[in-house]
Chain A
């Protein structure tokens, strides 16, 4: 899952990005409203963390513009202003959640997870696909009761497929949601990771979960 962090104070921006990455997210960052708006318009972000006090274009304006353009990405607004009026203004401008600085990082993570769930219309942190179980809060994968060890990238890919269970996911969609903007990865890396996942998840005797749809993409779930 990919997050966009728009925050002008460097130490905070880089710490949030590092924390999110170490928790399995792909993270793009922007230090001002102008770059933030430009990045936000590209597809693939599962949530946006937006600071309200930004240079160039301020946060509320950016948010208003995005919403006016029809962007449906969930936005969590970060700000040092905790007045009720500011909260109301942020939410009314189109934000989905609000966090006051300074905050406990664990709370930011939990809210991001909630926004991602909302993005995929999942109510529970646990995703069940046939006999495959993903606990998105604990980042634990089990199949038929057995825990499966996955690398961070593998887990990210699987989580994305699981959120889109039984839907065809194109390679470019995977790319957008799992890889950062300035990623140096090669274009066939998605296929490579699908291969890794298959090796870890598919078992003899257990039904196939990851299917390839030639010319379209991949599906996690029942045989199409």
Chain B
């Protein structure tokens, strides 16, 4: 398979041109030949008629009055014409001197009567003959110039050498061949130039692409005057460059953000410990400093763990299992560690999950999502506010919703909340220093589970919706362990289903 586009185009076009020229040459040759032969046959017929007119019948006898001076072509030694006349019975009743004693005296097949045909002439020459059926005129008819009226039908063969015609056709053949070859060569040369020019935009594009370096992803391919076939490629490439560029800047700013996010708590730790150490203090003062520092360290730890998990998810290092998971039980288990905090903040937590709702997914991944969503809800709901969690299954999807009151985010801030490290203003100075990674992490995990996570803010309520593919889990009885294996009863405190 030829690899070069230019070569392919060139060879293809040249082959087409050569083929076309050859076909045209052949067509010309054969049509000229047919015309020449038709004309030749016409002259044969005319000559035949001429010969027929000098044949008389006298009382049933056929006389050929052949005067050598009248029809010299039949008697000459060089390239003579030939004629032979047969009666209807097939006997030869007349012939030209040239035809005497030759094989021409054999009467040709009657099927050839309406057209000219090739015939072998004496002396090994090639010729063409024509048959004519006629009735000989009587002498009176001839003298009076009348056509023949009645009498026996005779068959006349007139034959002539076709050498001149062949010579002409030969010259024509050479001419056509010569012209075809010359034209092919000439057009081939021009074709090569045209093809090269035509392919130039492609080579220019290739050069343009090769010139893009990882450092200057901000550059875009620009090919003014590019043919429309290449435009989609250029646009798509620019589009990809844009996405890579954006991904790299996100990467850069992510690294910067991580450093920043860790530096602030570190600065707090350093300042607190330095100031504490500046002078001797009461044990209570040391205790307080230690406690506050530990709290900050735990927050940093949680942040680092989340970042590590996010990074692992990005590089797909964590295998995803597929098991039947009981949603209600999993939610109870996830909520348990947050129950105390919810109680402290006097939150009203309501759960509305069908007890037999099972989804086939990775239980620990799903737990991460639910934990982050519930943690956010418990931390950000206004004191005395409420949280409601619900789930439903429909066709091929399971939808889980967690909503909490006390949300003051605007619609655009809601989408920002999924960005890493983004926190609403009020959340930033809290002592527990929320990392702002919860939603970003939850969404990423949801994607890994082939699901999606969205949120909206309506009437002061923040509502997060998780959609997961159903996964065709088997129908199982209500479990006490969310992993759906037959276990002993296990009471899970903390959540209660609403009445009715």
A interface residues, Cβ below 8 angstroms from B: 8-12, 14-16, 18-19, 22, 31-32, 53, 55-56, 78, 80-81, 83, 101-106, 108
Known: A11-B292, A15-B272, A83-B256. A102 touches B429 (CB 8 A): no
Known: A80-B264, A81-B256. A16 touches B429 (CB 8 A): no
* Cβ B428 vs Cβ A15 within 8 A: no
* Cβ B431 vs Cβ A102 within 8 A: no
Give the distance in Å from the alpha carbon of A101 to the alpha carbon of B425 in the complex. Answer: 20
State which of B268, B274, B275 has its C-beta within 8 Å of the C-beta of A9: B268
Known: A80-B263, A105-B275, A106-B274. A15 touches B425 (CB 8 A): no
* Cβ A80 vs Cβ B270 within 8 A: no
Instruction: Judge if B13 is at the interface, Cβ distance under 8 Å.
Output: no
State which of A12, A18, A106 has its C-beta within 8 Å of the C-beta of B268: A12
Residues of B within 8 A of A31 (CB): 429
Residues of A within 8 A of B256 (CB): 81, 83
Known: A16-B271, A53-B260. A9 touches B265 (CB 8 A): yes
B interface residues, Cβ below 8 angstroms from A: 256, 259-261, 263-272, 274-275, 278-279, 292-293, 296, 425-426, 428-431, 433
Residues of B within 8 A of A11 (CB): 265, 268-269, 271-272, 292-293, 296, 431
Known: A11-B272, A11-B431. A19 touches B267 (CB 8 A): no
18 more contacts with CB within 8 A, not counting A11-B293, A14-B272, A55-B429, are: A8-B429, A10-B431, A11-B265, A12-B271, A15-B274, A18-B275, A19-B278, A22-B275, A22-B279, A32-B425, A55-B428, A80-B267, A81-B256, A83-B256, A102-B267, A102-B271, A104-B270, A105-B275
Residues of B within 8 A of A105 (CB): 270-271, 274-275, 278
Give the distance in Å from the alpha carbon of A56 to the alpha carbon of B425 in the complex. Answer: 6
* Cβ A81 vs Cβ B429 within 8 A: no
Give the distance in Å from the alpha carbon of A12 to the alpha carbon of B274 in the complex. Answer: 11
Give the distance in Å from the alpha carbon of A87 to the alpha carbon of B275 in the complex. Answer: 26
Min CB distance B380 to A, Å, is 15
Give the distance in Å from the alpha carbon of A80 to the alpha carbon of B268 in the complex. Answer: 11
Residues of A within 8 A of B278 (CB): 19, 22, 105
Top-6 shortest CB links A-B: A55-B425, A101-B267, A11-B268, A80-B263, A102-B267, A12-B268
Known: A19-B274, A103-B270, A105-B271. A12 touches B264 (CB 8 A): yes
* Cβ A101 vs Cβ B296 within 8 A: no
Q: Is the interface of B mostly helix, strand, loop or mixed?
A: helix
* Cβ B431 vs Cβ A55 within 8 A: no
Residues of A within 8 A of B426 (CB): 55
Min CB distance A62 to B, Å, is 14
Give the distance in Å from the alpha carbon of A71 to the alpha carbon of B263 in the complex. Answer: 30
Give the distance in Å from the alpha carbon of A93 to the alpha carbon of B428 in the complex. Answer: 24
Give the distance in Å from the alpha carbon of A222 to the alpha carbon of B343 in the complex. Answer: 67
Residues of A within 8 A of B269 (CB): 11, 102
Residues of A within 8 A of B267 (CB): 9, 12, 78, 80, 101-103
Min CB distance B268 to A, Å, is 4
Residues of B within 8 A of A101 (CB): 263-264, 266-267
Give the distance in Å from the alpha carbon of A44 to the alpha carbon of B293 in the complex. Answer: 32
Give the distance in Å from the alpha carbon of A80 to the alpha carbon of B267 in the complex. Answer: 9
* Cβ A81 vs Cβ B260 within 8 A: yes
Query: Whose C-beta in chain A lies nearest to the C-beta of B289?
Result: A15
Give the distance in Å from the alpha carbon of A214 to the alpha carbon of B272 in the complex. Answer: 45
Query: Whose C-beta in chain A lies nearest to the C-beta of B285?
Result: A18
Query: Whose C-beta in chain B lies nearest to the C-beta of A79?
Result: B260
Residues of A within 8 A of B433 (CB): 9
Give the distance in Å from the alpha carbon of A105 to the alpha carbon of B279 in the complex. Answer: 13
Residues of A within 8 A of B279 (CB): 22
Known: A8-B429, A11-B292, A32-B425. A102 touches B272 (CB 8 A): no
Complex A-B: 24 CB contacts under 8 Å: A8-B429, A9-B265, A9-B267, A10-B429, A10-B430, A11-B272, A15-B275, A18-B275, A19-B271, A19-B275, A22-B275, A31-B429, A53-B264, A55-B426, A55-B429, A78-B267, A80-B259, A80-B263, A80-B267, A102-B269, A102-B270, A103-B270, A105-B274, A105-B275
* Cβ A8 vs Cβ B265 within 8 A: no
Give the distance in Å from the alpha carbon of A144 to the alpha carbon of B260 in the complex. Answer: 51
Min CB distance B417 to A, Å, is 15
Residues of B within 8 A of A10 (CB): 268, 429-431
Give the distance in Å from the alpha carbon of A81 to the alpha carbon of B266 in the complex. Answer: 13
Give the distance in Å from the alpha carbon of A3 to the alpha carbon of B396 in the complex. Answer: 62
Residues of A within 8 A of B264 (CB): 9, 12, 53, 80, 101
Known: A11-B265, A80-B264. A32 touches B429 (CB 8 A): yes
Give the distance in Å from the alpha carbon of A32 to the alpha carbon of B243 in the complex. Answer: 36
Residues of B within 8 A of A78 (CB): 267
Residues of A within 8 A of B430 (CB): 10
Min CB distance B440 to A, Å, is 18
Residues of B within 8 A of A9 (CB): 264-265, 267-268, 428-429, 433
Give the distance in Å from the alpha carbon of A18 to the alpha carbon of B285 in the complex. Answer: 12
Residues of B within 8 A of A103 (CB): 267, 270-271
Min CB distance B156 to A, Å, is 113
Query: Whose C-beta in chain A lies nearest to the C-beta of B433?
Result: A9
Residues of A within 8 A of B274 (CB): 15, 19, 104-106
Give the distance in Å from the alpha carbon of A81 to the alpha carbon of B278 in the complex. Answer: 27
Min CB distance A32 to B, Å, is 7
Give the distance in Å from the alpha carbon of A19 to the alpha carbon of B270 in the complex. Answer: 12
Query: Whose C-beta in chain A lies nearest to the C-beta of B273?
Result: A15
Give the distance in Å from the alpha carbon of A9 to the alpha carbon of B434 in the complex. Answer: 11
Min CB distance B294 to A, Å, is 11
Give the distance in Å from the alpha carbon of A83 to the alpha carbon of B259 in the complex. Answer: 11
* Cβ A102 vs Cβ B292 within 8 A: no
Give the distance in Å from the alpha carbon of A18 to the alpha carbon of B431 in the complex. Answer: 17
Min CB distance A165 to B, Å, is 30
Min CB distance B303 to A, Å, is 13
Residues of B within 8 A of A55 (CB): 425-426, 428-429
* Cβ A8 vs Cβ B428 within 8 A: yes
Min CB distance B302 to A, Å, is 16
Min CB distance A9 to B, Å, is 5
Query: Whose C-beta in chain B lies nearest to the C-beta of A19?
Result: B275
Residues of A within 8 A of B265 (CB): 9, 11
Residues of B within 8 A of A83 (CB): 256
* Cβ A15 vs Cβ B429 within 8 A: no
Query: Whose C-beta in chain A lies nearest to the C-beta of B430?
Result: A10
Give the distance in Å from the alpha carbon of A12 to the alpha carbon of B428 in the complex. Answer: 13
* Cβ A15 vs Cβ B260 within 8 A: no
Give the distance in Å from the alpha carbon of A53 to the alpha carbon of B423 in the complex. Answer: 12
